[in-house]
Copies of this chain bind each other. A is one copy, B any other.
Amino acid sequence: MTRPINQQWRLAAHPVGLVRPGDFQLTTEPVPELGDGEVLVASRFLSLDPTNRIWASGAESYLPPVAIGEVMRGVGVGVVEESRNAAFPVGTVVEGVLGWQRYSRSDGRFLSRAVSYRDVPLERYLGIARHILLTAYFGLTEVAPGRSGETLVVSAAAGAVGSLAGQIGRLRGMRVVGIAGGPAKCRWLAELGFDAAIDYKSDDVDAALRRLCPSGIDVYFDNVGGAILDAVLAQMNVFGRVAICGLISGYNATAAQPGPANFANILMHRLRVQGFIVSDHYGRIEAALAEVVPWVDAGMLRWKMDVVEGIERMPVAVNKLFDGSNDGKLVVRV
């Protein structure tokens, strides 16, 4: 039987700075026959996330680095086309670590049935897939919880995770201040119900935080690190909580990044600073979904998609996450 032809982006070189086209190589080969317990997933949409840059870097992180020659690691959503695994019959819509490729063969690990939302078409699904929405949720639930009336600051607040984190903070009754780049993104934060937005490209972030967080900052959901983390640390209240979700300001750095100069505030204000990745918390995923799915179904969360057409554009498109040019959750339609 003729096998489907796969296209796969393989890592050719660990990027230095922004990704360059030669860092990845597009290869073509037939999909192998499935073994017992395996499924073949046809990718529909592949997610581009800042963490792709970490995985490509060659450095140890929270996962082993992608090796030269390997298919690039990435999350996506697709449909089971062949199955020798009863848990995933043909036609099942799944999400998971599909890789940067048209077809992925899986034994079911790192694969889940897509969450059952009521009215979310596949084209918009990755905006609230597990690794996005539950990152925002667990960050504000398990890692850096906040109470009604407390002040939450979110960086990269117009990003896929940040915009949801801010909305969850509002649902919890927090005062939410978002930090984003440019007036369009800041206007969008206002539409989402954020109490205030800071444009780090034109505002004095220290002064804006003082003005917009008159009672100080209780919770910081950080996606960026760097100078903005330092500015927020300086204004954290006693017993404040910081969720380190991402440190995107350093992901393309070619030199060692300095640590936060205001680190001593962790002692002086007895802050709790905790790094996390979403899968650490999947032990509590059922309770999490029971809370977030009704929010989505009731239209209480909003999100935007930025859809790039064609798998061949993946390596170039990933840079949009770092130059601020993406507008909504960045995905590639395969």
Contact = CB atoms under 8 A, between A and B. Distances in A.
Interface of A: 60-62, 225, 230, 238-239, 244-247, 250, 256-277, 280
A51 to B, nearest CB: 10
Contacts of A230: 259
Contacts of A259: 230, 258-263
A268 B225 contact: no
B266 A257 contact: no
Nearest to A277: B270
A106 B88 CA distance: 72
Nearest to A276: B270
A261 B256 contact: yes
5 contacts: A239-B280, A245-B267, A258-B259, A270-B277, A273-B273
Contacts of A244: 266-267
Contacts of A268: 60-62, 275
B267 A246 contact: yes
A177 to B, nearest CB: 22
Among A260, A269, A272, A277, max chain B CB count under 10 A is at A272
Contact of A275 (B61, B247, B269): B269
Contacts of A61: 268
Contacts of A275: 265-272
Given A256-B261, A261-B256, A273 B274 contact: yes
Nearest to A62: B268
Contacts of A265: 275
A232 to B, nearest CB: 13
A73 to B, nearest CB: 15
A258 B272 CA distance: 19
Contact of A270 (B246, B257, B267, B280): B280
Nearest to A238: B62
A235 to B, nearest CB: 12
A272 B271 contact: no
A138 to B, nearest CB: 11
A274 B225 CA distance: 17
Contacts of A260: 259, 263
Given A259-B261, A259-B262, 20 more contacts: A62-B270, A225-B263, A230-B259, A244-B266, A244-B267, A256-B261, A257-B261, A257-B264, A258-B258, A259-B259, A259-B260, A263-B263, A266-B273, A269-B275, A270-B274, A270-B275, A270-B277, A271-B275, A272-B273, A272-B275
A274 B144 CA distance: 12
A62 B280 contact: no
A260 B262 CA distance: 10
A59 to B, nearest CB: 9
A211 B270 CA distance: 32
